[in-house]
Amino acid sequence: MTDSTLKHLVIVGGGFAGLYAAKTLQKKNIRITLIDRRNFHLFQPLLYQVATGGLSPGDIAYPLRAVLKHNPRARVIQDKVVDIRPASNEVVLRDGGTLQYDYLLLATGVRHQYFGNEQWSESAPGLKTIEDALEVRRRILSAFEEAERCDDPQRRQQLLRFVIVGAGPTGVELAGALAELAQYTMKRNFRHINPADAEVILVEGSDRVLPPYAPKLSAKARAALESLGVTVRTATRVTNIDDTTISLEHNEQTETLAAGTILWAAGVKATVFGRRVAERTETETDRAGRLLVTPELTVPKYDNIYVLGDLAHVRQKNGAQVPGVAPAAMQMGRYAAKSILARIAGKPTKPFNYFDKGSLAVIGRNAAIAEVSGFKLSGFFAWLIWAFIHIHFLIEFGNKMIVSMQWGWNYLTRKRGARLITGKFTPNPDVERDSEPAA
Amino acid sequence: MTDSTLKHLVIVGGGFAGLYAAKTLQKKNIRITLIDRRNFHLFQPLLYQVATGGLSPGDIAYPLRAVLKHNPRARVIQDKVVDIRPASNEVVLRDGGTLQYDYLLLATGVRHQYFGNEQWSESAPGLKTIEDALEVRRRILSAFEEAERCDDPQRRQQLLRFVIVGAGPTGVELAGALAELAQYTMKRNFRHINPADAEVILVEGSDRVLPPYAPKLSAKARAALESLGVTVRTATRVTNIDDTTISLEHNEQTETLAAGTILWAAGVKATVFGRRVAERTETETDRAGRLLVTPELTVPKYDNIYVLGDLAHVRQKNGAQVPGVAPAAMQMGRYAAKSILARIAGKPTKPFNYFDKGSLAVIGRNAAIAEVSGFKLSGFFAWLIWAFIHIHFLIEFGNKMIVSMQWGWNYLTRKRGARLITGKFTPNPDVERDSEPAA
């Protein structure tokens, strides 16, 4: 089906950047190999909904093969790229096998970072993968279950204390969803505890929530969170985390809180693979390990290697860094696809130009804040825009009907039907497993 | 909120029997404690849809607390009952704590059995829990992914061979869904393999599929399976299973097949807890370890201990055993609830009478076979009945809209949107985990 005289583009990573590049090239005369460790694209901006039982993993993930099945020149491989050889135009797969490319597009994303305190990761998991979200969901729901069983009032209060570190979009949306879960969704679900007694504390190092947004919207977001009962602590630094406590520093005063659940939404950094790419291509990186790419989104020494999405550090003309958000990754993917086509056709390319469509964050059932083309919105109207935009993007992945139904249903009823504790059984790890052989 | 002078019913297990008992007592003057290891009720008859990517776990599971939230006299505890003390009317929880009951209702179900070959369980997982279904889904989808990457034609053929052991309803429905996934859903998804080349083999020890159904329906089911490309091997016994092969015996001839995926749907037996209950209450059991209960569904020596659902061996007046299906469990749950109310009121109770509403099995998109009140149906009309009945039951759990939308969507498009490989990454276990600290 494929013509081996065609140029070959290898895309590593099926996130927004990689997938949008592949989709843009859907009907073009170019061979594509998309490699991802997972067999699905993940709609990461809604991961916090999975973590709080509002959506199921299947609602926000879509098989990569299904997206690309109509392009006979595109091939999907579920595998891991462990290295690249820029001099010979090769990527190296996990089993040592190699693939030759004409153009290479690297968009493997970032992971959490704990700023040198990686030992905190067990006690304060982050939210990057489906597995992360299910683990966070398990911890949140198990805390309520354990509190219901618990007779010690002090321990109960501790179990019902949730601390979220980092008030970027993920932290803010997670705090809002968690507060709503406690305040509304689980009403009348318990007999010994009142889930509304749960304490949700959002900790942020800088002086306001959603630091990249306009200060006015930060204030609105804070007010919306507080009206849901969230305690917002800005200008507060985390100095230590262990299994049951978190230590916070504010105005040079330190305080240690006992908390049943601690969640991390504070920072990202490059992966091992990202650092390897920087090394192999001799590309400078920023503090987080992102690669400083050219205005054409390639690495300086190899103009057939594109680095996109969260892995790339891209400066705009005004000097500002392109933010690590889904719309930016989509734009980069589309740009790289068109740039490659232009170069194959021998045409000149223009530098990448980020078009900021606006920022959105949703806080609970009908509060959101939005900054669209300079307009700053908040409240229900912003929520509608948020819902509309997210459903619009999910349409392309075929999940539209399900997700919009689920949202409509959740919105009307405040139900969160996906409140399942799966995986490990805690807090009692000695449980008999269903699959174990009979004793 | 609760009156401690009320009689106290402890229900162990939130499956169909336990939950229907609790729902029947929703507005009655009795205190209820429902204990389950999980925080959700699972609609087990649709588990095979999760295993084949048609539905998400959240679509077929529903939080137990949400079901019982409107009954202030009902309490839900997520915990495990490890023992019972019939003489002092107590159940013992995992941490050693006890709960006192007036009436006890035990409906903890069964687990797979491998007929003395428990070592097969790793190579041939069964389908009882959400985790089982996700593991089966992972194995099925990973086999196609690995085949796509594989250059050895013999190994590829082996990877695309799926053997399902046991042609009861679960095995038959799983085989149908798996064949449909390969034949239709994944069409054009691969470049090196044709998923329709997958071989689905259904192995059954007795001489026909769906042995409890009428022979005519068994024949229809077999024809429907075969038209989807399933190879049905009846009167065939499994003599050995290891990681990559399964040995079959038919007419005293043994054959060993290499197979990428082997799934177990062949038998059930009592759990450790079930056997302990039999011991403590001095109740006889059948070969599978089910308790032989009285016509009132209690154990012979303690008339305040009910045993229901799959854990109970119930004989009908005609001598036939009540089958281990969801409708039977629901009827037992309702019966026990009413029986307890009658006894509290000092009224006489009638023995349990199973009303067979009919049997249904679905094979692929629009073939099903049904036996309803003596009528034997097959084809699309039977499929409609199947869909109607399942949606009807799910309504009560609030998942109606989502599941019916998902079904409608899948039906129209043959899409299976929940085709996610999550959990372990195989067949390459050495993958870098997202949560691991940077090397």
Is B179 contained in some domain?
yes
**Domain end position, chosen among B315, B344, B373:** B344
3-state secondary structure of B169: helix
Does the structure show a pLDDT above 70 at A95?
yes
Task: Name the residue with higher pLDDT: B60 or A276.
Answer: A276
Identify whether residues A164 and A211 lie together within a single domain: yes
- Average pLDDT (A166-179) is 93
Closest-CA distance, A301 to chain B, in angstroms, reads 26
Distance of CA B106 to the CA centre of its chain: 18
Percentages of chain B per state (helix, strand, coil), in multiples of 5: 35, 25, 40
Does the structure show a pLDDT above 90 at B231?
yes
Is B91 contained in some domain?
yes
Residue in chain B lying closest to A40 (CA) = B420
Q: Residue A251: its pLDDT value, please?
A: 93
- Catalytic annotation, pick one of A145, A146, A148, A173: A173
Closest-CA distance, B59 to chain A, in angstroms, reads 8
Task: Name the residue with higher pLDDT: B411 or B203.
Answer: B203
End-to-end CA distance of chain B: 55
Cβ distance of B434 and A111 shorter than 8 Å: yes
3-state secondary structure of B319: coil
| Cα–Cα distance, A57 to A46 (Å, whole number) | 10
**B chain contacts of residue A79, beta-carbon cutoff 8 Å:** 149, 428
Helix (H) or strand (E) holding B104: strand B103-106
The most confident of A287-301, A322-336, B35-49, by mean pLDDT: A287-301
Does the structure show a pLDDT above 70 at A432?
no
A45: tokens are 């901006």
Is A56 contained in some domain?
no
Are the beta carbons of A250 and A235 closer than 8 angstroms?
yes
| Cα–Cα distance, A367 to B416 (Å, whole number) | 33
The mean-pLDDT minimum among A33-47, A215-229, B7-21, B356-370 falls in B356-370
Cβ distance of A57 and B438 shorter than 8 Å: no
Q: Tell me the pLDDT band of A433, cut-offs 50, 70 and 90.
A: very low
Identify whether residues A253 and A122 lie together within a single domain: yes
Closest-CA distance, B404 to chain A, in angstroms, reads 10
Closest-CA distance, B319 to chain A, in angstroms, reads 30
Task: Name the residue with higher pLDDT: A304 or A392.
Answer: A304
**A chain contacts of residue B125, beta-carbon cutoff 8 Å:** 435
Instruction: Provide the CATH number for the domain around residue A167.
Output: 3.50.50.100
Cβ distance of B428 and A188 shorter than 8 Å: no
Closest-CA distance, B111 to chain A, in angstroms, reads 7
Identify whether residues A220 and A311 lie together within a single domain: no
Cβ distance of B420 and A61 shorter than 8 Å: yes
**Domain end position, chosen among B233, B266, B299:** B266
Q: What is the mean pLDDT of chain A?
A: 86
Are the beta carbons of A428 and B79 closer than 8 angstroms?
yes
Identify whether residues A156 and A225 lie together within a single domain: yes
Is A369 contained in some domain?
no
Identify whether residues B134 and B101 lie together within a single domain: no
Instruction: Provide the CATH number for the domain around residue B94.
Output: 3.50.50.60
Q: Which residue in A189, A272, A422 is closest to B432 by CB distance?
A: A272
Q: Tell me the pLDDT band of B187, cut-offs 50, 70 and 90.
A: confident
Does the structure show a pLDDT above 90 at B371?
no
Q: What is the mean pLDDT of chain B?
A: 86
pLDDT digits (tens, 9 = 90+) for A351-376: 999 987 776 677 766 566 666 655 66
Q: Residue B430: its pLDDT value, please?
A: 32
Task: Name the residue with higher pLDDT: B26 or B2.
Answer: B26
A&B contacts, CB < 8 Å: 209
Is B363 contained in some domain?
no
pLDDT digits (tens, 9 = 90+) for A186-245: 888 899 999 999 999 999 999 999 987 888 889 988 999 999 999 999 999 999 999 999
Are the beta carbons of A367 and A225 closer than 8 angstroms?
no
Q: Residue B391: its pLDDT value, please?
A: 61
Cβ distance of A421 and B78 shorter than 8 Å: yes
- How many structural domains comprise chain A? 2
Determine the longest span between alpha carbons in chain A, in angstroms: 74
**B chain contacts of residue A94, beta-carbon cutoff 8 Å:** 428, 430-431
Identify whether residues B178 and B230 lie together within a single domain: yes
**B chain contacts of residue A1, beta-carbon cutoff 8 Å:** 191
| Cα–Cα distance, A135 to A130 (Å, whole number) | 9
3-state secondary structure of A60: coil
How many CA atoms lie within 13 Å of B219's alpha carbon, on the beta-carbon side?
A: 4
Identify whether residues B282 and B254 lie together within a single domain: no
pLDDT digits (tens, 9 = 90+) for A312-329: 999 988 888 898 888 899
Cβ distance of B58 and A420 shorter than 8 Å: yes
pLDDT digits (tens, 9 = 90+) for A396-408: 555 444 454 455 5
Q: Tell me the pLDDT band of A416, cut-offs 50, 70 and 90.
A: low
Task: Name the residue with higher pLDDT: B281 or B326.
Answer: B281
pLDDT digits (tens, 9 = 90+) for B72-87: 999 999 999 999 999 9
Domain of residue A227: give its range. 118-266
**A chain contacts of residue B421, beta-carbon cutoff 8 Å:** 38-40, 78
Identify whether residues A304 and A280 lie together within a single domain: yes
Cβ distance of B188 and A70 shorter than 8 Å: yes
Identify whether residues A105 and A217 lie together within a single domain: no
Task: Name the residue with higher pLDDT: B187 or A80.
Answer: A80
Identify whether residues A151 and A257 lie together within a single domain: yes
Is B165 contained in some domain?
yes
Is A388 contained in some domain?
no
- Average pLDDT (B327-343) is 95
pTM flag (> 0.90): no
Q: Residue A101: its pLDDT value, please?
A: 98
Cβ distance of A272 and B417 shorter than 8 Å: no
Q: Tell me the pLDDT band of A44, cut-offs 50, 70 and 90.
A: confident
Q: Which residue in B188, B399, B422 is closest to A57 by CB distance?
A: B422
**B chain contacts of residue A129, beta-carbon cutoff 8 Å:** 434-435
Identify whether residues A182 and A304 lie together within a single domain: no
Q: Which residue in A126, A269, A421 is closest to B39 by CB distance?
A: A421
Does the structure show a pLDDT above 90 at A437?
no
Cβ distance of B272 and A78 shorter than 8 Å: no
pLDDT digits (tens, 9 = 90+) for B36-58: 999 998 888 889 988 998 878 87
> What is the phi-psi region of residue B407: left when phi exceeds 0, alpha when psi lies from -120 to 50, beta otherwise?
alpha
Q: Residue B263: its pLDDT value, please?
A: 97
Is B177 contained in some domain?
yes
**Domain end position, chosen among B301, B324, B344:** B344
Identify whether residues B207 and B290 lie together within a single domain: no
Q: Tell me the pLDDT band of A423, cut-offs 50, 70 and 90.
A: low
**B chain contacts of residue A62, beta-carbon cutoff 8 Å:** 417
Active-site residue, A173 included: yes
Closest-CA distance, B244 to chain A, in angstroms, reads 20
- Catalytic annotation, pick one of B135, B173, B199, B204: B173
φ/ψ (deg, to 5) at B34? -100, 120
